[in-house]
Structure formats: C-alpha cells, structure tokens
Amino acid sequence: MTSPNFAGRNARRFKAPSVIPGFGLTFGYTLLYLGLVVLLPLAALIWRSSGLGLSGLYDIATEPRVAAGLRTTFFISFCAALVDLFFGLIVAWVLTRYDFFGRRLLDAFVDLPFALPTAVAGISLAALYAPNGWFGEPLAAYGIKIAYTRWGILVALIFIGLPFVVRTVQPIVAELETELEEASATLGASRVQTVLRVLLPPLAPALLTGFALAFARSIGEYGSVIFIAGNIAYVSEIAPLLIVVKLEQYDIPGATGIATIMLAISFAALLAINLVQAFARKRFGHV
Amino acid sequence: MSESIAAGVPAARRRARVRPVTQDSPFARYALIATAIAFLSLFLLAPLAVVFYEAGTKGAAAFFEAFQDPDARAAIRLTLLIAAIAVPANLAFGLAAAWSIAKFSFPGKSLLITLIDLPFSVSPVVAGLVYVLLFGSQGLLGGWLTAHGVQIIFAVPGIVLATIFVTFPFVARELIPLMQEQGSVEEEAALTLGASGFKTFLTVTLPNIKWGLLYGVLLCNARAMGEFGAVSVVSGHIRGLTNTIPLQVEILYNEYNNVAAFALSVLLASLALVTLGIKTFLEWRHADALAARGRRH
C-alpha cells in the first residue's frame, strides 16, 4: 500500500472503524491542500525537467559556470557541516552536561539561525566580515579576507547549519546512561577511553543525522550567503544563485535543470537520514 | 531536555575531594565551556549584535527616519498581510492534517507525514521557481492566466503562495506527534457522553493542544515574515508593491543605505528575539504540553 489516494467510496474500509467524526472532511482537506500547494508545483518542476531528458540535465550540469556553482555549493556545504559537527557536539555536550552562568540563555540562542530571517543574517555577516567590520578589520591586518570570498560562504553556512547538529545531538547526550560510564571506569578505562569508546558510539547516529540535516539545508541556502559571497562567477557563486541568474535571463530550462539536480541531492540526503535513523533504532533503541 | 541532567549535578560536587568517574576533569570542562561560549559568541551573538549596532551608527533620528519612507511602510504592510494570510491557512491545514492522522488509523500514514515534511527539504529558491514554472508567463497555466487577466507571479498572490509553501509543515509537524501522544480516549469519552464532534474538538482537543498550537504558529509566523529566497524569486521586486521587509532590506543594502537596511533588520531581528523568547518560555513552562522533541526542524 503506497498511496493514500483512495479515500472516497472505500473510505469505510480504508480506515479502521472509529467513533470519532470528521475523517472524511479533515483527510480530504489535507490531501487537497497538500496536493495543490506542494505536490502540484513540484510536479510542474518534474514535468518540466522530464522534458529536458537525462542528456539535457547532463548538459546543464556540465556547463562550466553551473558546474563551478554546483561544486562550490557541495564542497563548502560539506565543509560547513563538518565544522558544525565538531563544534555542535561540543556545544551540545557543554549545554547538557555542565552547569554554568548563562547556560540557559546560550541554549536559547542556539535556535537563532532558525528564527533570524536569512536576509538579516546575510547582511549582518557581511557587515561583520567586511574589510571595515568588527572581525574583517583585524583579520585584514593579517591579510585574511573573509567577506566576498569563498570563506564568506563557509561562515554563512556554518551559521545556518549549527542548530541542526546541536538540536539533534542534545537529546541523545541527555539520555546517555551514567551507569555505562561508571561501568567503563570501574573496568579500568581512562576518561578519554570512556568518552571515545562508550559515550561517542551511541551519539554517532545523531551526529550523522545532524550532519546530513545541516548539509542538506546548506545546499539550498540562499539569503544568508549571497550578501557575503561576493558572487563572482566560477569562484563564489552558489547553485541557488545560479537558478535566480538563469531565471533573470529567461533561461527557464537552465533554472529547471539546476533545481532538479538540487532536489535530487536533498532527497538523497533525506533518504540517508532515514536509513541512519532506522539503523540507530535497531542498534541503540533510539533515534 | 538539557535542564534535567544539568540540574542533577549539584554545585557542591565540585568541592568534593574525589572527582566522580562520570565527570570530566576541571581542565577539560573549562576548556570545553570556553570553546562553546567562544564559538557561539563569534557565530551567533556577534551577527545579532551587529544588526543593532549598525542601525544605530547614525543616531536615533536616522534610525526612525528609515520607517518614514513610503516604500518601507508599504513593505511592512505587505509583510503583515502575507503573514495574515499564510499563517491561518497553514494553521487550518495543520489542524486538519493532525486530526486525520492522529485520531484515525489508515494505510499510507507515514508516506503522508513524509510528504507534509517535504517543503523543509526543498531550497527556498526552488520553492519560488516551482510557482514560476506553474503560473509564470511561460509556465504551465501562464497562457490561460494571462488570457484571463490574472497575475500571480510578480504580484501579491505569488508571494502568498511561495510563503505558504515554505511555512507549510510548521503547524502540522508540531501537532501531529502531540496529538498522537495524547491519543483519543478523552475525545471518545466526550462523544459517548453526547457532545457533538465540533464541540468535542473545541472543549476537549483544543485545550489539550493549545500550547503546541501556539508553538507551531509562532515558528510559522517568524518564517512567514522573514522568508527571503522563495519570495525573492516570485516577487519581481516592484517597490512599494511587491517588496516584503526582507526584500526591502536587500534593496536598501545594495544601495549602500546601511542605516535604513539595518533599521528594517532591527524590526525582523526583534521579531526573531521575541519568537525565541516565547519559544523558550513554552519549552520551559509547558514542556509536557508540547510534542516530545527529538529533531526539531
């Protein structure tokens, strides 16, 4: 049974009997709204890109400027997700395991990238790292340029992806059983050994999930990146920006092609997340 | 989540002569705390602080002047209008979806939940693009729309649709797990005692889900007012007509009008802070009335 699309006449057999009313209305509305707002527009994209064919998609992806954009997006998103993985684990650990002044406030601020509009994040990061900015000026003294280079993209994507890692890992750190640590210490393991061989393995699925979520989000990110990236063709253009550029040139097939490739990658990431979680449930009994 | 464990570590323990085996050495602890604080300050707090700083560089008069501009006012009005349409639309959908998914059992449920989550894994720019492909002048329905004098792309309806798309899952994904956890025993009791379906919803279900509902609406609203990528693709950037606050910020910034750009950003950043504040309050005070949190977004 793969599709819920057969309500209607068989509704009574389709759902299990229940005294609660309103199934037809709410289920019908859910399908209608989902279909009109999400599925129909996405179908338009798939229909358009099927007109291009695989060879058409390949031609678009290997166009030098597009290929450079896709490479930039994937490579820097990967690096940003790695940085988030490392610092996200430390932040999740510190916020869960230790108590210190300002912990709750800091904990609340971790969600800032979710709440702050991306355009605002974009211009404030650009202002920070610009040659005359708070961070840009001292760095410029050492000859380091962040804003309007690929490093700027990295900074923006680190900002965007951080909460995904922290919020995925935090609940699992909270659930770690002290008994395991005690047993490990009793059996003669040093603290470092305990951390590496007892505490980290159950965190691995959550870390992987957080990494994949941050990576997937970074690939699609637009608003926070374009202000700081400088958007130099072949150097610091990201794939979503190329969609906008193609649209402005009325190159609808080009825009569709890039969008299809990005969509395929995000679905692959989503699938990977689900596989990791299914594995984690089997192996560790939690997500 | 985090509170329970941290609260279980009394401060007095630090004074104990023998460190418990489950605690890290003081050196490791302080090094990790310092790293976390430094990282969060550099990457989260500094970008937030610079918004307020830049908005104030030319003094209060320049700051408030930014809001006198007719285009800025039009952008604020449009943003409020968009949120006023998109948030209730997704609220109604979220309630319907959660009711049908949580209160009934039918095949294909997990597929349906996956489809509801779909907009979160689509790039905002792609979300805008799909509506251009559907309603734009070269789009599937573009010819028919032009013939009937209906404009969706580069007009307000397109902005509303793109905003609804990107904020689509917020309410539903908060309510579905919450209502699944709560089950339907209370509703069944009310119905057995003779309450109508609608009355049951109003007097039994709604009080049980109100905090979760508020939580979902809050996040939905913050995103609806702050959305940039999707809206940027469908808006056409017509000043005073199809510019929302984030788009107006972009225009002002690109014109090197920093004070005005950051003044409008202060508005959006304040919205984000209020959202975070209420969200934190709900998680602290009403944690048991929210869906259990594993993965949040």
Query: Is B234 within 8 Å of B242 (Cβ atoms)?
Result: no
Would the pLDDT of B4 be above 50?
no
Cβ neighbours of residue B52 under 8 Å, at least 6 residues apart? Answer: B266, B269
pLDDT of residue B233: 94
Cβ–Cβ gap B126/A159 under 8 Å: no
CATH topology of domain A63-284: MetI-like fold (1.10.3720)
* Cα separation, A162 vs B286, whole angstroms: 25
Res. B12 pLDDT band, cuts 50 70 90: low
Q: Is A234 helix (H, G, I), strand (E, B) or coil?
A: coil
What would the mean pLDDT of B154-179 be, rounded to a whole number? 95
Neighbours of B64 (CB within 10 A): 10
| pLDDT value of residue A279 | 85
Could you give the C-alpha distances from A11 to A7, A15, B240, B286, in angstroms and in order? 5, 6, 49, 37
Lowest mean pLDDT among A200-204, B33-37, B198-202, B230-234: A200-204
Helix (H) or strand (E) holding B7: helix B2-7
What distance in Å separates the CA atoms of residue B84 and residue A37, rounded to the nearest whole number? 17
* pLDDT at A278 (0 to 100): 84
Residue A71: alpha-carbon gap to chain centroid: 17
- pLDDT tier at B26, thresholds 50, 70, 90: confident
* B181-202 per-position pLDDT tens digit: 998 999 999 999 999 999 999 9
Q: Is there a contact between B29 and A100 (Cβ–Cβ < 8 Å)?
A: no
Tell me what pLDDT residue A3 has. Answer: 47
Query: How far, in whole angstroms, is CA A161 from its chain's centroid?
Result: 6
- In this predicted structure, what is the pLDDT of residue B10? 56
| Domains assigned to chain B | 1-55 (no CATH), 60-289 (1.10.3720.10)
In angstroms, the CA B170 to CA B167 distance is: 6
Residues of chain A neighbouring B188 (CB-CB closer than 8 A)? 19-20
Q: Please state the φ and ψ torsions of residue B21, each to the nearest 5 degrees.
A: -65, -20
- Cβ contact A94–B36 (<8 Å): yes
Type of residue found at B210: K
d(CA B120, CA B229): 13
CA of B111, closest CA in chain A: separation in Å? 7
In this prediction, residue A12 carries a pLDDT of 53
B-chain residues within 8 Å CB-CB of A181? 21-22
Give B197-204's long-range contacts (Cβ < 8 A, gap of 24+): B197/A20, B197/A21, B197/A22, B201/A22, B201/B99
Q: Residue A90 half-sphere exposure, CB side, CA atoms within 13 Å? A: 18
> What is the average per-residue pLDDT within B12-19?
59
Taking the domains of chain A in order of start, what are their residue ranges? 63-284
Nearest-neighbour CA in chain B from A141: distance (Å): 18
Predicted local distance difference test score (pLDDT) of residue B268:
96
Q: What is the spatial distance between Cα B159 and Cα B62, in angstroms, rounded to a whole number? A: 30
Q: How distant is the Cα of B188 from the closest Cα of chain A, in angstroms?
A: 7
pLDDT value, residue A281: 79
How many angstroms separate the most distant Cα atoms in chain A?
73
3-state DSSP assignment of residue A45: helix
What is the model's pLDDT at position A242?
95
Half-sphere exposure of A244 (CA within 13 A, CB side): 25
Q: Which residues contact B11 (CB under 8 A, 6 or more apart)?
A: A99
- Whether A119 and B6 lie within 8 Å, measured CB to CB: no
The band of B149, judged by pLDDT with boundaries at 50, 70 and 90, is confident
Are A98 and B32 inside 8 Å of each other by CB?
Answer: yes
What are the helix (H) ranges across B138-193?
142-147, 156-167, 169-182, 185-192
Least Cα distance to A215 among A279, A274, A165 occurs for: A165
* A95/B123 Cβ within 8 A: no
For an interface test with B, give the residue of A29, A31, A33, A118 to mutate (most B CBs within 10 A): A33
Neighboring chain A residues of B99 at a CB cutoff of 8 Å: 22, 26
Residue among A119, A247, A266 minimizing CB distance to B250: A119
Token pair for residue A244?
């906008």
Cα A123 from Cα B272, distance rounded (Å): 15
Position B19 scores a pLDDT of 75
Q: Report CA-CA distances (Å) from B106 to A20, A25, B3, B173.
A: 14, 15, 38, 18
Q: What is the pLDDT of residue B13?
A: 52
Give the number of C-alpha atoms closer than 13 A to the C-alpha of residue A105, restricted to the C-beta side.
Answer: 7
Q: Count Cα atoms within 13 angstroms, Cβ side, for B50.
A: 24
CB–CB contact B32 A19 (8 Å): no
Largest CA distance in chain B: 83
Identify which has the larger pLDDT, B21 or B51: B51
The label of the residue with tokens 């004074």 reads B15
Each residue's pLDDT tens digit, B241-294: 899 999 999 999 999 999 999 999 999 999 999 999 999 999 888 888 888 764
Cβ separation of B126 and A263 shorter than 8 Å? yes
Which residues, given as ranges, of chain A have pLDDT below 70?
1-13, 285-287
User: Which of A3, A94, A200 is the best substitution to test chain B (most B C-beta atoms within 10 A)?
Assistant: A94
- Three-state SS across B89-152? HHHHHHHHHHHHHHHCCCCCHHHHHHHHHHHHHCCHHHHHHHHHHHHCCCCCCHHHHHHCCCCC
Distance (Å, rounded) from C-alpha A225 to C-alpha A150?
10
CB pairs under 8 A between A and B: 341
Average pLDDT (B58-77) is: 92
pLDDT given at position A286: 58
| Nearest residue to A148 via CA among A160, A158, A136 | A136
- In chain B, residues with a C-beta closer than 8 Å to the C-beta of A158 are 43
Report whether A206 contacts A172 (CB < 8 A). Answer: yes
Distance, in Å, from the CA atom of B94 to the CA atom of B26, rounded to the nearest integer, reads 48
